[in-house]
Chain A
Amino acid sequence: MFSSWYPLLPAGIELISVQYPGRHDRMTERYVEDVSLVADQVAAELREWRGRPIALFGHSVGAAIAYEVAIRLERDLESSPQHLFVSGRMAPHHGHGKTDQTLSDEDLVAEVRRFGGHGLEALEVRDLWPVILPPLRADLRMADRYRPASLKPLQIPVTAFVGDSDHMCPPAELASWRDATSVELDVQVMHGGHHYLTEQPERVVEAIVRRLCPTVPGAGRPEARSRGPSASLAQEVAELWHEHLDGREVGVDDEFFELGGNSLIGMRIIAGMAERYGTELSVRAFYLAQTPARVAELIEEGRAGS
């Protein structure tokens, strides 16, 4: 579904597509009809990326999965994602319409055609129905069954996309995602129905990239970051910490609490940085950033006014 996105993304953003069990290269596996189980698996796979910036995108039932993955990743400071993008689905705590599970194959195909989406041509070939319909039914069951385990808001920003004529997810209902985040919610209404996404991937990808790389296209490149202004800013920040930490040597990747930092020292450092760089860094953001290098990134983001 996301193959059209590859050529649209800048060099600094790597696309990883989640394949649910029971189809394509996971054809031999049984379907998983529990969002939590899928989310557990995805979060476990993402451990490899611990410490590197991650953003999540999910469409329809994928939005519920992406949300659940975000919850799991947030439990570990090093893995916390930057941003959650959701599409074509109301917030987890909001009720979700039930699909009729008793639909015959013909009726189910008719419904799918009504909502549009990718792979429609395959449905023209009746012989392919035994391959296409079972995973689809499994996904619908998974979507119907899903209930969020916790209503605690995420600590990351959320951007919600929807087609303006999506019958399954009225655009007005998207504001429900406001309660799912303690940071900010941005709602983007696109032209189209439930599967607006397949019709205009460029617009969606552009919106995503704009949120992840606020300054210049390609600015999200990890290599660029370490060669660019951040490197010397990180050094400066480390110098400032060194002054507040009893003259201890501070490397740009050293962790604040390991260096002997505590809440009082933290507050003094934050005040010192606000004075020098003019950016308001919250105590929470400082605690989560942990190293001079990451604090330098936050300062730069603040300067870029994102």
Chain B
Amino acid sequence: MSVAPMQHITLVCAPFAGAGASFYHPWRTLAGDRVRVVGLELAGRERRLLEEPHRDVHEAAKASLESVLSAAEDDAPLVLFGHSVGAVLMYELAHLLSARDSGRLKRLFVSGSPGPWTQRTRRATGLADDEFFARVEEFAGFRHEALDHPEMRDLILPALRADCEMHENYWPSTDEPLSIPIFSVRGSTDELATPEQAQEWRDATVSEFGFTEMAGGHMYLADHAHELLRLIEAVSFGETTEDRRPVAAQSAAASEKS
């Protein structure tokens, strides 16, 4: 029996704290023809501004299940991507999808995140506004321009707080590993996820595990979207390790020396 070669994948992407699906909008054109990018829109931001943001990863995952399933409607294999809190959210979603036995979920990419059993020790939850923003900026290693605008800050704050709370209080729903491959990526100078921590995801799957680094800090993906997407495409379509590792490893090595 022959298996038809995979034509394309649907890549559903979960954003980091405070962000909305619009972060992944540019990925739609940056991604190759074989990758259809869909941003996950969570409650409390952008189009869903009036809704209460979720404060619990498991609730957020359950609430997002239907929209992920409808994003996957076109029968293409489904690949999930999540950065930082988005990583653990997508991990929980992967478990939910596996339980549904849809069989369409092929792979999970996690970014900027220690394994699911490693709790965040540095907390921003509960701090007063100014301290909270300062702490978050410290974590992320960057300051979003939008936060300089007081009205925008106020608009983003509830979702940002809720995301931090859900990330800092997260504990995995199960100790059972996934049966689909996991690939973990980090920025080479990310202080929120050391190389060892980023590779903890190995224990979260009984299938293949892959890991690589790209130049940059926690928010490396803002500057390296194109490379990241090439990586995701190559790994998803089973193109050889040698093809992609040198590109990523070189740029990581170069930045560490400089």
- Is B a genuine binding partner of A? yes
Contact residues of A with B, CB < 8 Å? 74-77, 80, 155, 255, 257, 260-264, 267, 282-284, 287-288, 290
Contact A257 B50 (CB under 8 A): no
How many whole Å from B89's CB to the nearest CB in chain A? 19
Q: Which of A76, A255, A267, A290 has the most CB of B within 10 A?
A: A267
Residue in A260, A261, A262, A282 whose beta carbon sits within 8 Å of that of B151 in the complex: A282
Does the CB pair B145–A76 fall under 8 Å? no
18 extra interface residue pairs, beta carbon distance < 8 Å, beyond A282-B151, A290-B47: A74-B50, A77-B48, A77-B49, A77-B50, A257-B20, A257-B22, A257-B25, A257-B46, A260-B22, A261-B22, A262-B23, A263-B156, A264-B145, A267-B149, A267-B152, A284-B151, A288-B49, A288-B50
- Tell me if B47 and A80 are in contact (CB < 8 A): no
Q: Which residue of A lies closest to B146 (CB)?
A: A263
9 A-B pairs with the lowest CB-CB distances in the bound complex, closest first? A263-B146, A262-B22, A283-B151, A260-B25, A257-B46, A287-B49, A257-B22, A257-B47, A283-B155
The distance in angstroms between the C-alpha atoms of A261 and B25, with both chains bound, is: 8
Contact with A along B19-47 (1 / 0, CB 8 A): 01111011000000000000000000011
Interface 1/0 per residue, B148-181 and A, CB below 8 Å: 0101100110000000000000000000000000
B92 shortest CB reach to chain A, Å: 23
Residues of A within 8 A of B20 (CB): 257, 262
B48: chain A residues at CB < 8 Å are 77
Q: Which residue of A lies closest to B144 (CB)?
A: A263
Q: How far is the CA of A155 from the CA of B213 in the complex (A)?
A: 45
The answer to whether B26 touches A260, judged by C-beta atoms less than 8 angstroms apart, is yes
Q: B239 at the A/B interface (Cβ < 8 Å)?
A: no
Give complex CA distance A283, B155 in Å: 8
Whether, in the assembled complex, B256 has its beta carbon less than 8 Å from a beta carbon of chain A, the answer is no
Cβ-based interface call for B208 (8 A):
no
A80, A267, A283, A290 — most chain B CB neighbours (10 Å): A283
Minimum Cβ distance to chain A for residue B12 (Å): 16
Is B51's beta carbon under 8 Å from chain A? yes
Min distance, Cβ A153 to any Cβ of chain B, angstroms: 12
- From DSSP, what is the main secondary structure of chain B's interface residues? helix
Q: Is the CB of B49 within 8 A of A284?
A: yes
How far apart sit A247 and B74, CA to CA, in the bound complex (Å)?
Answer: 29
Check A76–B46 contact: CB distance below 8 A. no
Q: Determine whether the beta carbon of B155 is less than 8 Å from that of A77.
A: no
Question: Could you tell me the distance in whole angstroms from the C-beta of B27 to the nearest C-beta in chain A?
Answer: 11
Bound complex: CA A229 to CA B190 (Å): 53
Between-chain CB contacts (< 8 Å), 23 pairs: A74-B50, A77-B48, A255-B47, A257-B21, A257-B22, A257-B25, A257-B47, A260-B25, A262-B20, A262-B22, A263-B22, A263-B144, A263-B155, A263-B156, A267-B146, A267-B152, A283-B149, A283-B151, A283-B152, A283-B155, A284-B49, A287-B46, A290-B47
Instruction: Report the Cα distance A288→B21, complex, angstroms.
Output: 16
Residues of A within 8 A of B146 (CB): 263-264, 267
CA separation between A264 and B144, bound complex, in Å? 9
> Bound complex: CA of A43 vs CA of B50, how far in Å?
16
- The residue on B at minimum CB distance from A282 is B151
- Contact between chains at A77 and B22 (CB < 8 Å): no
- The complex places the Cα of A210 from the Cα of B33 at a distance, in Å, of 54
Once A257-B20, A257-B22 are accepted as A-B contacts, the answer to whether A284 and B155 lie under 8 Å apart by CB is yes
In chain B, what residue has the closest Cβ to A263?
Answer: B146
Q: Which residues of A contact B152 (CB under 8 A)?
A: 263, 267, 283
Question: Taking CB as reference atom, which chain B residue is nearest A265?
Answer: B22
Q: Once the chains bind, are A262 and B25 in contact (CB under 8 Å)?
A: yes
A262 to B19, CA, bound (A): 10
- Give the nearest-CB partner of B29 in chain A: A260
Docked Cα-Cα span, A264 to B146, in Å, equals: 6
The answer for the CA separation of A44 and B23 in the assembled complex, in Å, is: 33
0/1 string, B46-65, CB within 8 A of A gives 1:
11111100000000000000
Query: A215 vs B155: C-alpha distance in the bound complex, in angstroms?
Result: 31
Considering only CB atoms, which chain B residue lies closest to A152 in the complex? B52
Q: Which of chain B's residues have a CB closer than 8 A to the CB of A287?
A: 46, 49, 155
In the complex, chain B residues whose CB is within 8 Å of the CB of A267 = 146, 149, 152
User: Is there an interface contact between B155 and A75, defined as CB atoms closer than 8 Å?
Assistant: no
Q: Which residues of B contact A282 (CB under 8 A)?
A: 151
Beta-carbon contact of A76 and B47 below 8 Å: no
CA distance A301 to B11 in the complex (A): 41
- Residues in B whose Cβ lies below 8 Å from that of A284: 49, 151, 155
List CB contacts (< 8 Å) of B129-156 with chain A.
144-146, 149, 151-152, 155-156
Chain B residue with the shortest CB-CB distance to A77: B50
Chain A residues near B49 (CB-CB < 8 A): 77, 284, 287-288
Given known pairs A267-B152, A284-B151, the reply for A76 and B22 (CB within 8 Å) is no
- A157 CB, nearest partner CB in chain B, Å: 15
B50 partner, pick from A155, A255, A261, A262, beta carbons under 8 A: A155
Nearest-Cβ distance from residue B41 to partner chain A, whole angstroms: 8
Q: Which chain B residues lie closer than 8 Å to A264 at the CB level?
A: 145-146
How far is A106 from B21 in the complex, measured between Cα atoms in Å?
Answer: 63
In the complex, which residues of chain B have a beta carbon less than 8 angstroms from the beta carbon of A257?
A: 20-22, 25, 46-47
Q: How far is the CA of A74 from the CA of B48 in the complex (A)?
A: 11
